[in-house]
Structure 1
Amino acid sequence: MSVHLDNTHDAQDLGGRAYDMVVRGGTWFDGTGAPGLTRDLGIRDGRVVEVSARPLQVGPQTRVIEAHGQWVMPGFIDVHTHYDAEVLVAPGLGESVRHGVTTAFIGNCSLSTVYTTPIDAADLFSRVEALPRDHVIAALEGGKTWTDPATYIDAIEQLPLGPNIAAFLGHSDIRTDAMGLGRSTDRAHRPSRTEMAKMLRAVEDALDVGFLGVSAMSNPWDKLDGDRYRSRSLPSVYARWSERRKINKVLRRRDRVLQTIPNLNTKYDILFFLASSTGLGRKPLKTSVLAAADAKADRWVRRIFGPIATVANNWGRGALRWQHLPIPFQVYSDGIDLVVFEEFASGRAALHLREEMGRNDLLKDPEYRRWFREDFEKKFSSRIWHRDFDDAEITECPDESVVGKTVEQVARERGIHSTDLFLDLVVEYGTAFRWRTVITNDRPDIADWLINQNGVTIGFSDAGAHLRNMAFYNYGIRLLQRVKEAQGGARTPFLTVEAAVHKLTGELGEFYNLDAGFLRVGDRADLVVVDPDGLNDQTKEYAEASMSEFGDIKRMVNRNDEAVSAVVVSGEYLYGRGQFAPGFGTTTRSGQFLRAGVTGDKKPSVAKVLS
């Protein structure tokens, strides 16, 4: 079925006004998974009012986007970002917008800034998400005007947003507010009845005003920053299942989402999430879990995601979804400053020490080195990182003789153990020693297979976090590039373009119950125009850019300006081919806070639905 209007009229017929924008002649994908069709799109007041097989006439003030030979699709929904601080100081969120993201979710991984103080929020965020702590504090101290979810939304909507924002309420946020950061990260303390009631009231208040649900954390590797409780796990990790069940009960009743990460040490708690999501004899609990991946450390793990989702969703009538990054998970590290070292005790001991001199004293100690080597070489420890220094390429170093080689290769040349060579380089050069490795999703054929497994959805970009470690802002563009390459014969096709668009847009809009992800008559005019000729190897190249809002830190970014020819949010043109529109992120507000369960007028009175 095609959805369009009677297109025999001119641009003045609909409501007596010309279109604000016409997207002309592109191959239009509506986000439902339907095949693309050559269509013109007429946009007025931030919504699509016409989809026409015939050319639409335009008025003198109508903005025209020529899309001939290109793909016109709903803007991408990025379900996993950590823009909670950045949105306050750089609300355009240009690194996502320039790659077609028109809706970004914040408040993931139990971390939100709705209730906690700026200092507590910085301790929760900075080490876990590798953000500069002083700048997180400054962003919150300079911008926090809210006291609850309702006033938080008001504050967000006062910003000159680029993309739309949707949010989870963080379990660590409300636990800290109810119990204090110290008690909430002490296993000896459980929330009192009053404290538990305060947390549940906070959840209800957030859902009342349109939050997506609650994000939680069970993985103990994620640690606090600051000096007060440094290296304790996040507050959500200390919650017992009785506490989690009470929160889940509210989410189930309200048909909202639990976003979570299991304990990566024991892994068995995924069974609890599976059981919680099922709908046998009750409403299912929508559950979004990190992360479906083909891990180098455990090649067998990729086989479990589809069967677990099948048990939960098909047999258990549940609603379990895996978040999946559809590209290789390549990370960079300045010395030892990388979250994967939190996996083992000696790595945590080094990261516990912020001051370089004290850390170097530790790393030079022979006893510590023996400990580090034992941890590194343990065969049966839980891990995400493969811990293979032959798979760790040195990309920058004052000693140019080692650049381009692996750590293991240099160690062999010098006749020492690779862990000693690694620690020597960290001690001698600190963060000027930079290296990279791929942790997951390195095998294209397995990646193609994994994306089609039951319950696997697209997410986990971590946009706005780990600024020096990784950049997956263009994950949607890179997925489309993979699809195009496969259809061109580079390997076996695994998705159609329309199916890929659906996974990046409509599938997510439906699951999270948002007014986003579709591009039909009556839908929000949030769209991206992709030039398939621009889907080339530039999407994979390394790039950096200074972030003035965070002290000019050089953050990793993506640049593929040939691929994205237009990004539109609420009918407002924001970006195209490397250039942002005037006023972007400063005077123009195109995005808004999207409330779960609130949809727009899907069927304007002027629309006709014709088969």
Structure 2
Amino acid sequence: MTKRSDEDLHDLVIRNGTVVDGSGGQPYRGDVAVTGGVITAVGSVTGSGTREIDATGLLVTPGFVDLHTHYDGQAIWSDRMTPSSSHGVTTAVMGNCGVGFAPCRPADHETLVDVMAGVEDIPGVVMVDGLPWTWETFPEFLDAVASRQRDIDVAAFLPHSPLRVYVMGQRGVDREPATAEDLSQMRKLAAEAVHVGALGFASSRLTIHKTESGQPIPSYDAAQAEIEAIARGVDDAGGGLIQFVPDLLAADYEQALQSVFDVAADVGLPVTFTLAIGNAGPALHLDALRMVEKANANGGEITAQIFPRPIGLVIGLELSGNPFITYPSYREIAHLPLAERVAEMHKPEVRERILNDSPASDGHPLMFAVQAFDWIFPLGDPPNYEPSRSDSIAARAAARGVTPAEEAYDRLLDDDGHAMLLITLANFRDGSLDTVAELVRRDDVVLGLGDGGAHYGMICDASFPTYMLTHWARDRATGRLSVADAVRELTTVPARVAGLADRGRIAVGYKADLNVIDHGALRLHKPTVAYDLPAGGRRLDQTAEGYVATIVSGEIIAERGVPTDALPGKLIRGRQPAPA
């Protein structure tokens, strides 16, 4: 009997799949072998694996990289980074928009909770119950994240607002100008954060990013000198990425965006920023892209981060918002359990009172959109994220001969009050995603904005990788992407932007983060409401079918949509080089 050599043995072999390697090149039939958490062979693999997967007729892709999440809290209190890990994501970057939980002195816990509750729709009670606050500094926070087992890898930006409050105290909360001493301290702490593993730093000056108490976030109007001081701290420790959310609706957005581009050019750092496409009106996104082109032509490294379906909200009686959330007459019954509230709303006198009421002036900044009935659509199962304008609440109301408010009221009561509506705030220009189709093909554009771990009661966008592979790479009649291009946009491109060159490819030496996918059977389900956050908090979740296996560091974390016991996810500390 011939003794088999170690070269013939593998931890895992995926056999006979259609390998889509993340490069954008032509898919090919082959095997993938994994040993020690690393891809060790691709093509025709000899020998056997301790575990083997027959991938005949299935896609084999790298694990997906999500650049824009807010798992800062969920990574502390949970071992599952869902919805992201349910959609093939194996690496999630958190700390975006300049909000997070470190650095933070004990006296400022409530301040940061107020910021996160307002900006990211995370209920305060969830954070109070779920965060142990065993850290003060950013290095201590990363240690807390690293000590927790989880399904996928996470990485973090240093968030601007907590840094500002940590250095300046109440002056930072009140958005007073930073002194020279403040700037020196911010630079020092930014260097410290990157030294221990931050991928860079994140900031925002978006107008609707307000605290739960209604104030602009601490970083909102920070001066260019402050951005530069933090950027120089990042550079002092070896460099990293600047993530920025401009206010594209503000009159001075070009100036604010240019100031960040100028800092990046002076210091020598890359930038990725949020880009939204207006549904109508001036094409401001084109102006922003011209700025990107100019900056990159002068040696910059700028990417516009876009979302591949409408940027929007999911609303309903069970969620954070609905068209009547600010009506005093609705607020009288808003506290009732769902079934009781639905029963009340079915009463003719209650219906008439609410429909004849007017919204109050207070409420979440995003609630201004819940009256935009031309851009609100029923969200069914399967969910349609590129609906016809004829299916809008306004169009349906006209067809029925009722007011849009009446149509919205009636649709909210469907499915015993569990019905959901989709508000398409942006990216749905002229009622289609054609503009998105054009932009995702650009080299200076990267996918992101999934927002996993945040907006628990109004957004469920972390499912976008499944949408890319179904809508964009299979189902859309026009503007369709090839599977190879869609996978590249979900893997190699975001990995490069994040500075994580060790993943996003199927090639020897790369990290063994992989997906095995039945592309023909891939289906995105309608969001559902779960009550699995700390303190019984509510969140939107969304699942899919068609993921045969998701693999992190060579370990299978889910099979056919069912999580396994494997929790191989790690904290990524800093940028990672490509395999030798």
What secondary structure sits across from 1:23 in the alignment? Answer: strand
- Shift of residue 519 of structure 1? 2.2
The correspondence of residues 18-167 of structure 1 with structure 2, limited to 5 A, is 18-52=9-43, 54-59=44-49, 62-116=50-104, 117=106, 118-141=109-132, 144-167=133-156
Instruction: Provide the aligned C-alpha RMSD in A.
Output: 4.0
1:544 paired residue among 518, 523, 528: 528
3-state SS of 1:318 partner: coil
Q: CA deviation at 1:212?
A: 0.8
Which one is further off, 161-170 or 189-198?
189-198
Q: Deviations over 1:325-360 (max 9, x none)?
A: 11233422246986899xxxxx9999xx99969xxx
1:108 Cα deviation from its structure 2 partner: 0.6
Task: Please state if 1:507 is matched with 2:493.
Answer: yes
Task: Call closer, same or farther: CA 1:422–1:573 in 2, change over 3 Å.
Answer: closer
Cα-to-partner distance string for 1:165-194 (whole Å, 9 max, x where unaligned): 1100100011111122x322324x323333
Percent identity over paired residues: 23
Q: For the residues of structure 2 that align with 1:245 and 1:340, how far apart are their CA atoms?
A: 41
Q: Secondary structure at the match of 1:498?
A: helix
Normalising by structure 2, we get a TM-score of: 0.82
Residue 458 of structure 2 aligns to which amino acid in structure 1? N
Query: Is residue 2:179 matched to residue 1:192?
Result: yes
Deviation at 1:147, TM superposition (A): 3.1
Which residue number in structure 2 is paired with residue 608 of structure 1? none
How far off its partner does 1:64 sit?
A: 0.8
Q: Distance in 1 between matches of 2:179 and 2:234?
A: 21
What SS does the corresponding residue of 1:72 show, helix, strand or coil? strand
Measured in 2, the distance between the counterparts of 1:206 and 1:591 equals 21
Does residue 594 of the first structure (1) align with residue 576 of the second (2)?
Answer: no
1:317 to 294, 299, 303: 299
Q: Distance in 1 between matches of 2:321 and 2:206?
A: 13
Cα deviation for residue 323 of structure 1 reads: 1.0
User: Cα 1:383–1:337, aligned 2, differ >3 Å: closer, same or farther?
Assistant: closer
Of residues 524, 538, 553 in structure 1, which corresponds to 2:511?
524
Consecutive unaligned residues of structure 2, counting only runs of 5 or more, are 336-352, 381-390
Could you tell which deviates more after superposition, 260-269 or 42-51? Answer: 260-269
* Structure-1 residue corresponding to 2:5: 12
Residue 512 of structure 1, CA deviation: 1.8
CA distance in 2, matches of 1:65, 1:547: 34
Query: Quick check: 1:69–1:531 contact (8 Å CA) kept in 2?
Result: yes
Q: Distance in 2 between matches of 1:85 and 1:27?
A: 37
C-alpha separation in 1, matches of 2:318 and 2:214: 16
Aligned equivalent of 1:277:
261
**Within 2, Cα distance between the matches of 1:19 and 1:596?**
29
**2:200 pairs with 191, 204, 213, which one?**
213
1:125–1:224 contact (8 Å) kept in structure 2: yes
Local SS of the residue matching 1:39: strand
Partner of 1:244: 227
Contact 2:161–2:217 at 8 Å: present in 1 too? Answer: yes
Structure 2 match to 1:565: 548
For structure 1, the residue ranges without an aligned partner over 5 or more in a row are 1-8, 342-346, 358-363, 376-381, 397-403, 604-611
- For the structure 1 residues 248 and 355, does the alpha-carbon distance in structure 2 shift closer, same or farther, using more than 3 Å as the test? farther
* Offset of residue 268 of structure 1: 2.6
Q: What whole-Å deviation, never above 9, does each CA across 1:551-581 have from its counterpart, x for those lacking one? A: 44453222221x2111000111110212111
In terms of mean alpha carbon deviation, does 164-173 or 545-554 score higher?
545-554
CA contact under 8 A between 2:289 and 2:304: conserved in structure 1?
A: no
Residue aligned with 2:208, SS: coil
Mapped partners of 1:349, 1:415: distance in 2: 20
**Which of 439, 443, 450 is the matching residue for 1:461?**
450
SS of 1:311's equivalent in the other structure is: helix
Q: Residues 82-126 of structure 1, C-alpha deviation per residue, up to 9 Å, x if partnerless? A: 111111121221321121000001101011212124423211101
TM-score by length of 1: 0.78
Q: Which amino acid in the other structure matches residue 42 of structure 2?
A: V
Contact 2:322–2:370 (CA<8 Å) still a contact in 1?
no
Letter of the structure 1 residue corresponding to residue 301 of structure 2: A
1:607 corresponds in structure 2 to none
Distance change (3 Å), C-alpha of 1:567 and 1:434: closer
Whole-angstrom distance in 1 between the partners of 2:276 and 2:397: 33
1:598 to partner: Cα distance: 3.1
Paired positions, count? 541
Q: Alpha-carbon deviation of 1:252? A: 5.0
Q: Is the 8 A contact 2:513 2:553 kept in 1?
A: yes
User: Are 1:300 and 2:267 counterparts?
Assistant: no
